[in-house]
């Protein structure tokens, strides 16, 4: 559950708000195993298993919707099995975050998400972060 919250925070905190999620394909319902790395290092919790149903991705969109007023319009495009999302949001009073996420896969049996986020000014000394799911 902690990893799910971390990933959700990365999406929302990275600027991928409900604007970005509207109209995107949803994951196939069932049991999913999610592995993640942050800048080339596995996240200590290891892979997690999570059940996804038809409402799971809608719930993430609703949570992200609470922050949409902090973002410029989000740009996303789909090309085959590749979806690219770019966003620009103010996540804290003085911090702007630009995020790029590239999703590949069919979302029926597999997908991969590569996230690159930059922070201006840096947060806790970090000006960028990369996460792979």
Digit-by-digit pLDDT tens for the chain (133 residues) are 333 444 444 454 444 444 445 566 788 899 999 888 888 666 777 788 989 887 887 787 777 677 677 888 778 888 888 989 888 888 777 888 899 999 998 888 888 999 999 999 998 888 998 988 8
- The domain ranges of the chain are 2-132
Token pair recorded at residue 76? 């996303």
Cis bond upstream, residue 121 (ω within 30): yes
Q: What value does the CA radius of gyration of the chain take, rounded to a whole number of Å?
A: 14
**Given this model, what pLDDT does residue 52 score?**
87
Please give the pLDDT value at position 33: 92
At residue 78, the pLDDT reads 87
Residue 47's pLDDT is: 86
What pLDDT does 22 receive? Answer: 58
> What one-character DSSP code corresponds to residue 23?
T
Phi/psi of residue 109, each to 5°? Answer: -135, -20
Long-range contacts of 47-54 (CB under 8 A, 24+ apart): 48/1, 48/3, 48/4, 50/4, 52/27, 52/28, 53/29, 54/26, 54/29
> What does the pLDDT read at residue 5?
40
């Amino acid at each position: 559950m902690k990893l799910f919250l971390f990933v959700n925070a990365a999406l929302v905190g990275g600027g991928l708000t409900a604007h970005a999620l509207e109209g995107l394909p949803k994951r196939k319902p069932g049991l999913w195993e999610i592995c993640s790395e942050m800048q080339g290092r596995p996240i200590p919790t290891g892979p997690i298993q999570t059940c996804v149903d038809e409402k799971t991705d809608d719930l993430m969109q609703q949570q992200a919707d609470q922050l949409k007023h902090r973002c410029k319009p989000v740009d996303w495009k789909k090309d085959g099995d590749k979806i690219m999302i770019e966003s620009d949001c103010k996540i804290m009073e003085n911090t702007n975050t630009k995020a790029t996420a590239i999703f590949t896969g069919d979302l029926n049996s597999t997908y991969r998400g590569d996230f690159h986020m930059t922070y201006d000014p840096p947060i806790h000394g970090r000006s960028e972060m990369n996460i792979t799911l």
